[in-house]
Amino acid sequence: MDSKQIIVQHLPKLILASQSEARRQLLEELGCTVYVQKVDCDEDHGSSVGALVVQDLAERKLNSYLDRYNTPEFPVITADTMISCDGLLIGKPQDVHEAHDQLLRFQGKSHTVWSAFALYFPNGQRIVRGSDAAQVTFRHLNEVTINEYLIGGQWRGAAGSYRIQGAARSFISHITGDYTTVVGLPIQRISAILSSLDSV
């Protein structure tokens, strides 16, 4: 079976504990019925290792959700995405000035996008988790291009100030890895893990 079939088989209906429209669209495009419920938790971290941070935050979000809704009817998935560039971990910008600085840092070079997920199955109270990385290369950008993009507001709430499925797509010259990891939900990784459950 391909990734789509595997995910729909295991997750025909699920709760997405995230406000990310992109993650919801990814799951719905696969054929899942998605119920969105917001979850809040502390996203501070003390590590510079992308895989560890996003995995920890995804699990922290899941635990926060389960603390509030301890008997979900359907599987629950949470996720987190961060960017590693120049030895720094970069999350969502606090304001337009930080967004400008983030985009300026990326321009003309490659960075790594880390996305992780945590998935809870109420039947058996089982949790599976995983993460993935993809490389994104930006074109050279000028101040006019960056400022016009910032005026549009798509930087808000986005790791690294951009969403690959939005206007910033034109900034990108090359992607190495799973496109959905850059979107924010590593579908190929999720599919591989769910497939491995069938052989257990």
Nearby residues of 44 by Cβ (< 8 Å), 6 or more positions away: none
Token pair listed for 121: 């199955």
Give the C-alpha separation, 57 to 45, whole Å: 8
Q: Which residues are known to be catalytic?
A: 80
Give the C-alpha separation, 4 to 155, whole Å: 29
Give the C-alpha separation, 130 to 159, whole Å: 19
**C-alpha distances out from residue 144 to 140, 148, 163, Å:** 12, 6, 19
